[in-house]
Amino acid sequence: MKHKIILAISCLILSLKVKAQQKIQPIYYIDYSYASKHVLRGGVEFILMDGGENQDKLFLGTGYGVVGDHGKMHGIPDLHLSYNIGTLLFIKAGSSFSHAYSVVGISLFNSCDIGIGYSKSYNNSNVKIQGFTAGITFRLTHKDNVYGKLKIGF
C-alpha cells in the first residue's frame, strides 16, 4: 500500500511539474493487454526523445491498471518506456509491482500500437500475470509532434 501511495504522489508531482512547462504536454494513453489475465491500463506519457525528421520517439509512461484475479479486481501501477521507430514499429518494456513485460509490434503513426511479447511475474506478487502477451495502446493528445506525418509524393 505504501508503494502505491508513493507512486501516485510521484505521478501527481511529475504531472504538475510538466504541466507548468509549456513545451511539454502529457499524452494520455489507454492500453489493453492479455497475458494470462486481461489487463486494462490508463495514464500519461511524455516524450523523452524526439528524433525530428526520421520521426523516432521515446515515450516514458506512467499509469494505473486493473486486472481480475479469481473474481477480485486488483489495481496495478505501471511504468514503461516505448521506443517508436519511425511511424511503423515500436519496442516497449514496462513493469508494475506484480510483473515485468516487453512487447514489440507495429505502430500506426504513433497513435495506436499493436504488439506481442512476453510477461513475467515476480516471485512475491499476489497477482500472477505470466506468459505470451498481446496488446493494443491508443494515444490521445492535442500536441502536433506526437503523431507521425504521412509523406506522399515528392
pLDDT at 22: 46
More confident residue, 20 or 98: 98
Q: What is the pLDDT of residues 104-140, one digit of tens each?
A: 999 887 788 999 999 999 988 778 888 999 999 998 8
pLDDT at 86: 76
pLDDT at 60: 92
pLDDT exceeds cutoff 90 at 149: no
pLDDT exceeds cutoff 50 at 20: no
Q: What is the pLDDT of residues 28-85, one digit of tens each?
A: 999 999 988 899 999 999 888 887 667 788 889 999 999 988 888 989 999 999 998 8
pTM of structure: 0.75
pLDDT at 1: 57
**Which grid coordinates belong to 150?**
504521412
